Structure 1
Amino acid sequence: MALQSQYVFTLYVDLAPALDFGKTTSSGNRRFIPITGGRLEGPNLKGEILPGGGDWNAVRADGVVHVLAKYAIRLEDGTMVNVHNEGYGRASQTVMEGVFSGQPGGAVPEGSEWYTKTWPRFEVADNTKHAWMCRTCFVGNLLKPEGPGHVQIEVFELL
């Protein structure tokens, strides 16, 4: 039996320019990308992404990008959601530098490889109607960025 999924929402994440730590022995080329805000929109959920989080990502020697983002969302009804979104991507170092530089023209060039999938986990207080998010498996599809300073992640519930 094949896995099935259902679309839940899209995360529209606003980013500041990346802080580049350079090449590290243990992780590869490490950078921190501050999350400055954004929104969550879906058929049954809406909210805002709060500033202050970020993505601690690293480009490994084999070119794979390890994404590790932590941030907070406030849903329309005031419920706070702690987000831990981790995954892997494939894109050249040049493409990644352009996307996360914050500079105009930072879109992924036409014909460039782009693959980034994540497994977001959500932590929500038990006494809310959104506690189901803590008991559900999700997958994310980080779409090819169209410009600098912004990414979109489609989130699907595994059924």
Structure 2
Amino acid sequence: MNEIQTRFMFRLSLEVGAHHVVGQSPISSRRIAPVAGGTFEGPELSGIVLPGGTDWIIVDPAGTWFRMDVRLPLQTNDGELLVMAYQGWRSGSPDALERLGRGEEVDPAEYYYRVACGFETASPKHARLNTIVAIGNGWRLPSGPGYDIHEVL
């Protein structure tokens, strides 16, 4: 069997602004969270999250899951620009997700938070990122979400 292996890329910490609550539409309960900034730090890739990212969130009416669709502009410490896009799920008991929603710290073992990531760049130095798949484990702090991002080898 060919088992999947990963390599740590970076820890991503986001600062999220006030959500724009669209509400219950015919398609879903939707909200949009602007990403104001943040940082990413790893052994080969570090930098800042530029303002302008957004997190388009679908929320289960029962309060047991969130579906995220995120686009972030990143600037590496060497001045190169990247786009990071990821989709994922945060699910758990209504109690755990309600506490997260109130801004409380909740042990990540109490909920599931995973993302699948891709990158886009015009930088020759970082061109290999255009063709990799990455995954991440997430957690939610009162200041915003965080992720440990791993390249799938």
Pairwise same-fold verdict (TM > 0.5): yes
What SS does the corresponding residue of 2:129 show, helix, strand or coil? helix
AA paired with 1:114? Answer: Y
* Distance in 1 of aligned mates of 2:108 and 2:56: 26
1:56 paired with 2:56, answer yes
AA paired with 1:42? Answer: G
Unaligned 5+ runs, structure 1: none
Aligned length: 151
Contact 1:95 1:108 in 2 (8 A): no
What SS does the corresponding residue of 1:88 show, helix, strand or coil? strand
Percent of aligned pairs with the same residue? 27
Residue in 2 aligned with 1:132?
Answer: 128
Contact 1:17 1:100 in 2 (8 A): no
Residue 149 of structure 1, CA deviation: 2.8
TM-score by length of structure 2 reads 0.87
* Distance in 2 of aligned mates of 1:98 and 1:109: 7
AA paired with 1:117? Answer: R
Superposed CA RMSD in Å reads 2.2
Residue in 1 aligned with 2:148?
Answer: 154
Residue 154 of structure 1, CA deviation: 0.7
Unaligned 5+ runs, structure 2: none
Residues 88-118 of structure 1: CA deviation (Å, up to 9, x unaligned) = 12035665565456xxxx1244598311111
- The 5-angstrom pairing of residues 6-155 of structure 1 reads 6-27=7-28, 29-61=29-61, 63-92=64-93, 96=97, 99=100, 106-109=103-106, 113-125=110-122, 127-143=123-139, 145-146=140-141, 148-155=142-149
* Distance in 2 of aligned mates of 1:119 and 1:69: 10
